[in-house]
């Protein structure tokens, strides 16, 4: 287990023991005589007092949701922790575990969500219901691909192959744009009587929306209403987006009026956000602001995401006054605003050209947050690069590294891309080398293949052999070895007057064949200046 994760677990275990002891001590001084008599007759091997279990579960949930979920533990396996809790009987319930899976899915942490789901299934913590199978099927498709998802589906019993399971597989096909498989499975569902539900219509609308077939979205929406299935908020929002994609403002507004007049639907802030987003895309700023005002009326103190959308929208509109107002509101409304909010406000200020204010907020973030999500820094770095201010971007990152004693490979890769755009390949190589050095095994970041190819090409023509070997060594720890790496090594060796036989042997051992480019490089090495190399 990762040492940092283990230390946190030990602290948690200690806290749990202390809490349990303290609670028992407190209870012993305040309980009645009858209670004391009951405690004396309690056998030593009986189960713990049930009144304590919810407190322990709250501690467990606190650890899971506040320590395991946030950055930087998003790539750590949670299985060692779950195994330890299971072994020590820490009082986990199916609601805790389902809640954890739900939270992980909501944060797009699909690998962790899948391992927890499979751990639950393997341990038999609770019997999987159709909904649990559907969740696992979706996670398998996202993590291991559709072949594995189809295999999981086929291995389910007929009893478990419910409408939810078919609908989930259908949705996986929709997400991957596999039209033939999607339509074939949908036809099978239709024959089984599974296609008259709201979920099926929503999936079909989303399928056509993802392929920009706006007319078909509207057709399905009409079919749904004609068949007696009442559209929900999501259905209206998909259809509104389709009208927006066709620049049909009247259609958008007609649907909004329709849903607002529905007495059986409680208007959500997301619907107004969808309207505002389409107005912004169409350049209708005044109408967008009107929708954002309506959105704000629907928000409450728990709608952090909604306020974040507001800031993002006002930033896109260039409305600094409203942006600042909402930001101040966020700071007052929420006790601990998140890196997500800082990323939005910093990006908005940078987009507006308020670079000094953006840097000020970045420093505020660095000094107030303990779990560093470098998405905040990356937002401002990208804005600087868009403006051609690559040197300033690097200064900002260097200052941030000095402050928090930590950096992200993605941040250095952004700088590398910026330097490459200015044709400063030496600096691009230096920054990418920093990115590769920052990378840890199993982390989510991977370098851009095109940028890596350009750097390797430049190194092959300009780098010293030791420099190329060092860079390739770092690169091989992050991505599989490839032909471009060997070409850079061969070119640098030839320029340095070194033999390349050893490199070619390694290339062969890695099962990388010599292609025409390889032969061309070797041919030029063997050809005298006044001779012609023919391939």
Q: State pLDDT tens for residues 333-389.
A: 876 667 788 889 988 998 888 888 888 888 888 777 656 667 788 888 998 898 899
Cβ-count burial 283-309 (b if 16+ within 10 Å, e if not):
eeeebbbebbebbbebbeeebbebbbb
Say what the pLDDT of residue 526 is.
58
Say what the pLDDT of residue 203 is.
81
Q: pLDDT: is 431 or 513 the higher one?
A: 431
CB of 107 within 8 A of CB of 75? no
11-42 tens-digit pLDDT: 434 433 333 333 334 334 333 433 343 333 33
229-248 tens-digit pLDDT: 899 999 999 999 999 999 99
Closest CA to 436 of 426, 425, 424, 446: 446
Say what the pLDDT of residue 71 is.
45
Helices (H), 298-442: 304-317, 320-333, 339-351, 355-368, 375-386, 390-404, 409-421, 425-438
Q: In the chain, what are the domain boundaries? A: 457-535
- Distance CA(351)–CA(202), nearest Å, equals 35
Among the residue ranges 22-36, 125-139, 305-319, the one predicted with the least confidence is: 22-36
- Distance CA(239)–CA(218), nearest Å, equals 6
pLDDT of 535 higher than 60:
no
Say what the pLDDT of residue 92 is.
66
Say what the pLDDT of residue 40 is.
38
End-to-end CA distance of the chain: 54
CB of 298 within 8 A of CB of 335? no
pLDDT of 222 higher than 90:
yes
- pTM above the 0.85 mark? no
Say what the pLDDT of residue 65 is.
55
Among the residue ranges 70-74, 189-193, 462-466, the one predicted with the least confidence is: 70-74
- For the residues 78-94, what does the mean pLDDT come to? 71
CB of 414 within 8 A of CB of 397? no
């Amino acid at each position: 287990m990762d040492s940092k994760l283990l230390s946190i677990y030990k602290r948690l275990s200690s806290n749990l023991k202390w809490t349990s002891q303290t609670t028992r001590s407190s209870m012993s001084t305040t309980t009645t005589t009858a209670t004391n008599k009951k405690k004396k007759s309690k056998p030593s091997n009986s189960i713990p007092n049930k009144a304590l279990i919810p407190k322990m579960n709250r501690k467990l949930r606190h650890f899971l949701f506040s320590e395991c979920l946030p950055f930087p533990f998003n790539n750590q396996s949670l299985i060692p922790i779950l195994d330890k809790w299971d072994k020590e009987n820490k009082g986990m319930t199916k609601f805790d575990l389902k809640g954890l899976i739900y939270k992980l899915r909501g944060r797009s942490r699909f690998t962790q969500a899948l391992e927890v789901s499979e751990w639950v299934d393997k341990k038999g913590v609770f019997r999987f219901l159709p909904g649990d199978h559907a969740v696992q099927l979706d996670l398998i498709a996202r993590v291991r691909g559709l072949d594995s998802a189809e295999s999981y589906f086929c291995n389910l019993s007929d009893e478990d192959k419910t409408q939810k399971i078919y609908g989930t597989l259908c949705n996986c096909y929709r997400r991957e744009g596999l039209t033939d498989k999607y339509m074939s499975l949908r036809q099978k569902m239709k024959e089984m009587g599974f296609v008259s539900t709201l979920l099926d219509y929503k999936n079909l609308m989303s399928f056509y929306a993802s392929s920009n077939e706006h007319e078909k979205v509207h057709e399905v929406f009409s079919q749904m209403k004609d068949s007696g299935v009442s559209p929900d908020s999501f259905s209206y929002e998909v259809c509104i987006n389709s009208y927006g994609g066709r620049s049909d403002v009247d259609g958008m507004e007609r649907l909004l009026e329709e849903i607002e007049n529905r007495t059986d639907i409680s208007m959500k802030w997301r619907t107004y956000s969808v309207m505002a987003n389409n107005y912004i895309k169409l350049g209708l700023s005044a109408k967008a602001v009107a929708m954002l005002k309506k959105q704000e009326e629907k928000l409450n103190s728990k709608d952090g995401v909604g306020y974040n959308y507001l800031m993002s929208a006002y930033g896109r509109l260039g409305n600094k006054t409203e942006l600042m107002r909402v930001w101040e509101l966020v700071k007052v409304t929420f006790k601990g605003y998140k890196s997500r909010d800082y990323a939005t406000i910093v990006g908005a200020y940078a987009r507006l050209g308020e670079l000094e204010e953006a840097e000020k907020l970045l420093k505020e973030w660095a000094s107030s947050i303990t779990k560093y999500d470098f998405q905040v820094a990356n937002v401002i770095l990208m804005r600087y690069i868009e403006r051609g201010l690559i040197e300033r971007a690097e200064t900002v990152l260097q200052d941030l590294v000095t402050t928090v004693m930590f950096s992200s490979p993605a941040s250095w890769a952004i700088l590398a891309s910026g330097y490459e755009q200015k044709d400063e390949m030496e600096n691009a190589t230096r920054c990418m080398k920093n990115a590769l050095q920052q990378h840890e095994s199993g982390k989510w970041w991977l370098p851009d293949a095109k940028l890596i190819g350009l750097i390797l090409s430049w190194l092959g023509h300009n780098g010293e052999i030791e420099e190329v070997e060092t860079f390739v060594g770092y690169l091989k720890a992050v991505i599989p070895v490839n032909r471009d790496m060997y070409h850079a090594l061969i070119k640098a060796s030839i320029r340095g007057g070194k033999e390349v036989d050893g490199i070619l042997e390694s290339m062969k051992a890695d099962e990388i064949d010599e292609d025409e480019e390889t032969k061309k490089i070797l041919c030029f090495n063997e050809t005298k200046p006044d001779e012609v190399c023919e391939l």
